[in-house]
Each structure stands twice: as C-alpha cells, then as structure tokens.
Amino acid sequence: MAKTYDTRIDLSSEARSELIALLNKNLAEALDLYSQTKQAHWNVKGVDFIQLHELFDELAENLEGHVDELAERATALGGVARGTVRMAAADSDLAEYPDDVADGIKHVGLLADRYGEYGNRVREAIDKAEELGDPVTADLFTGISRDLDKHLYFLESHIQI
C-alpha cells in the first residue's frame, strides 16, 4: 500500500485504507473504460458513423469526470491516486478492447459489455463503501452507477429489438 496522509475525516485508518484501495480499483477501471470508449470513438465506421462517433465521445467525457472524482476522493481520504495509464492497465480487470473493429454496431456491443461489467462492479462498491461506514464514497459510487446505467441503456438501445 502506498503512503497515506493524516486527515480529519472521522473514519478509521483501516476503513480509509480499504476505501482508498476500492477507489483506486475503480479509478483504474474507469480510466480503462474511458480509453476503450475513445478507441471506439476514433475507429467507428459505417452508416451510423456521426451518431456513434458523437455518442462515444459524450460517454468518454462523462467517464473523464468520474475519473477525476474517484482520484480526488482517494486523496481526500489520505491516499495516493493511482492514475497513470500503466497503473490503470495493470489494475483493471476489464477485457482488452480489440484493435480490429470498425463496424459501429460491433463497437456498440463491445462497449455495452464493458459498461455492464463495470456498472456491476460499481454497485458492489456502493455496498462496500456503506459497509465501511462512508456514505460520501457510497454516494460518489451511486452517481457513477446512475450514469453508467443510463449510458448502458443508450448503448443497448442500438442493439435491442
């Protein structure tokens, strides 16, 4: 575990350590999902190009905001945010995004899989943060979960009939 700093936040050092690890795990996966969403944004082709290009960019921008919130909460709890690309790649459990996809609907399906997977993990993080007695971190995860579910709905609506 990296160095931690003293804080006046009234959580035990053990709870803070667990929360910092949880936040950093989610930071890694949010950064990974952000980069995978940008991969789709840059490489989408097909008749729905502009619609999907713009949608993927909007989804990535939203994730970027959550990345910042996760990192800042980890540091507010006295931790160190693990936010480089290499750290994220090492700490994320999301599947690697293929580099040979152009078809827009294929990108939608790949992103839907990843948004669903990460969304499920964020819901688990809500429960863990509550269990550790930190309603602020639980609330942060709840906001992220809300956005992920909405964006999963946007993606799935392209492929559901």
Fold classified for 13-159: Ferritin (1.20.1260)
Does residue 147 contact residue 64 with C-beta atoms inside 8 Å? no
Band (3; pLDDT cuts 50, 70, 90)? confident
Cα separation, 86 vs 90, in Å, equals: 6
Mean pLDDT across the chain:
96
If DSSP codes are grouped into helix, strand and coil, which group holds residue 10? Answer: coil
- Mean pLDDT of the 17-27 span: 98
Residue 29 has pLDDT above 70, yes or no: yes
Query: What pLDDT was estimated at residue 137?
Result: 98
- Mean pLDDT of the 40-53 span: 97
Query: What pLDDT was estimated at residue 155?
Result: 98
C-alpha distances in angstroms, 7 versus 12, 75, 79?
A: 10, 10, 10
Angle at 149 between CA 146 and CA 150, to 5 degrees: 85
Residue 2 has pLDDT above 80, yes or no: no
If DSSP codes are grouped into helix, strand and coil, which group holds residue 82? Answer: coil
Look at residues 80, 93, 96, 98 and name the one whose alpha carbon lies nearest to residue 28.
93
Cα separation, 23 vs 81, in Å, equals: 8
| Per-residue model confidence as pLDDT tens digits over 49-106 | 999 999 999 999 999 999 999 999 999 999 999 999 999 999 999 999 999 999 999 9
Cα separation, 135 vs 8, in Å, equals: 16
Residue 1 has pLDDT above 80, yes or no: no
